[in-house]
Amino acid sequence: MTITEIQALRRKNQETWAQNDALLTKAAAEKRDLTAEEKVAWDKAEEEYDARRLQIEEAEKEHDRQKRHEARRLELEKLDTRRAGREGGSGADQAQDRESQERALRAFITQAPNQWDEETRNLVARNQQLVPPEARQLGHGFVLPGRRGYVFGSEMERRALTAAANATVAEDFMRELDVALKDYSGMAQAARMVNTDTGADMPFPTMNDTANIGALLAEGSAAADTADPTLAAVTLQAFLYTSKIVRVPNQLLQDSAFSVDSYLPQALGVRLGRILNNHATLGTGSSQPRGLITALVADTTELEAASATAIAFGDIVNLYHAVDPAYRNGPKVGFMMHDDILKVVEKIVDSNGRPIFRPATEAVGSVPTIYNRPVFINQDMDATVVEDKESIVFGDFNHYVIRRALNPVLMRLAERYAEYFQTGFVMFDRWDGDVVGGANRALRVLSHDLV
């Protein structure tokens, strides 16, 4: 789908939303609820809106994927030229190295080990040394050596993880894996991601200096030395997660028309994304990450809604202002809720009868907003507004940290399903998550725990 076609769908959605906006505005002006006929029209328009929204999201994902591949191709062409100049080789030599890596990864996925040529066996053998010892007995492993954004090293410096050189195909595999993971995880979209090159416990330092202010100093007087900030640390571990085994018929692996490079990262990323989202939202913190809701219920004062079974405009206003003004700006500031709760919020109007929810604009990549803040969908949050539940979180999600340790390991299980003429693949990844620093000021949750 072209950009023009995506923009056309967005325009259509804006028109649909304008119709529903008019219904709400009219009802609010007349101080009444929607009539039965208006509710039918609203529901029909909302269904069409949601269907187009999903179509737009899928089209934009494909468009972004194509842009990433093209950018990567241009980047590699420049890299080949620079390397050729430094190493005295040619761009063709560098391209040949990349082709060797590509053949090795594809052979690792699509062929049995006894079919690998010598070059592939050597490349896989070198890579096998990077696989954790406890995982090597499971079968042949391939540590994805691509970049995962930025990582914290031993000196807390920001540097990219590169376990092997020129592993361009594996980098693309890693990139597609993380894209699929984020597509199915509102927490991965909203939270702060920190990647480390070890699996050791990571003390994440925090500082609270809100109780201290400056002071007027008289001439000849000494400055006070008793205004130390409160220092603490949240320890982030590296719990081991698995995608579970994905079984692929060998007929498909042998079929050149089947794009296993696209299928595997999608299948594995979706599974890892779902468990990451669940534990980053609801994890107990005991032998697993401490989820966002778990942490906010334990560490902050929940904001009580006016009703146990409804969300009102006043609740949204109170939730917004419950967050300290210093934490209400920034790229990670937004609202988070289940998609079914968003349907409820979409019908809320302000004191002037205007809907507080604004749909995405025509611009590619734009997102729906409330108070000009993005809305993150989290399908592991409560889906209904009932008593003893938490419906909406607002604040700076930069204060929820997901720590990912090392790079994921892809294992190939060639013999386990041989009688089915299938090959198994399983991905292992290590991570932890928790709220760090200023939670009671940076993030608040709307609760319906009425007494």
In a domain, 259, yes or no: yes
User: What pLDDT is recorded for position 79?
Assistant: 53
User: What pLDDT is recorded for position 360?
Assistant: 81
pLDDT digits (tens, 9 = 90+) for 391-439: 999 999 999 999 999 888 888 888 889 899 998 999 899 999 999 977 6
Beta-strand runs (E) in 348-439 = 357-358, 369-370, 373-377, 390-396, 400-413, 422-435
Structure-block tokens of residue 268: 């594995």
User: What pLDDT is recorded for position 434?
Assistant: 96
Residue 162: pLDDT over 50: no
User: Percentage of residues in the chain with pLDDT exceeding 90?
Assistant: 32
In a domain, 52, yes or no: no
Say if residues 391 and 311 touch (Cβ distance below 8 Å).
yes
Which residue range(s) make up the domain with 321?
129-205+232-338+378-451
In a domain, 354, yes or no: no
Determine the Cα–Cα distance for residues 258 and 260; give it in Å rounded to an integer: 6
CA distances from 223 to 197, 220, 227 (A): 42, 10, 10
- Non-local CB neighbours of 222 within 8 Å, separated by 6+ positions: none
Can you tell me which residue has the tokens 């693949």? 425
Say if residues 178 and 148 touch (Cβ distance below 8 Å).
yes
**Averaged pLDDT score across all residues of the chain:** 80
Closest C-alpha to 273, from 380, 375, 188: 188
Structure-block tokens of residue 276: 């990451």
In a domain, 407, yes or no: yes
In a domain, 79, yes or no: no
pLDDT digits (tens, 9 = 90+) for 106-160: 777 777 778 888 877 887 777 777 666 656 666 677 666 554 543 333 232 222 3
Confidence band of 212 (pLDDT split at 50, 70, 90)? confident
Highest mean pLDDT (candidates 16-25, 104-113, 247-256):
16-25
Confidence band of 320 (pLDDT split at 50, 70, 90)? very high
pLDDT digits (tens, 9 = 90+) for 172-204: 666 666 666 766 788 999 999 998 888 899 998
Determine the Cα–Cα distance for residues 436 and 419; give it in Å rounded to an integer: 49
Residue 169: pLDDT over 50: no
How does DSSP classify residue 325? G
CA distances from 52 to 12, 43, 343 (A): 9, 14, 15
Closest C-alpha to 186, from 104, 119, 276, 121: 276
Confidence band of 307 (pLDDT split at 50, 70, 90)? very high
Lowest mean pLDDT across 32-41, 70-79, 301-310, 332-341:
70-79
CB burial class (10 A; 0-12, 13-18, 19+) of residue 330?
middle
Structure-block tokens of residue 155: 């000196």
In a domain, 71, yes or no: no
Closest C-alpha to 428, from 179, 175, 187, 238: 238
User: What pLDDT is recorded for position 223?
Assistant: 77
- Count of structural domains, the chain: 1
Determine the Cα–Cα distance for residues 93 and 123; give it in Å rounded to an integer: 17
In a domain, 144, yes or no: yes
Question: What is the secondary structure of 185-204 as a DSSP string?
Answer: -HHHHHSEEEEESS-S-EEE
User: What pLDDT is recorded for position 80?
Assistant: 52
In a domain, 31, yes or no: no
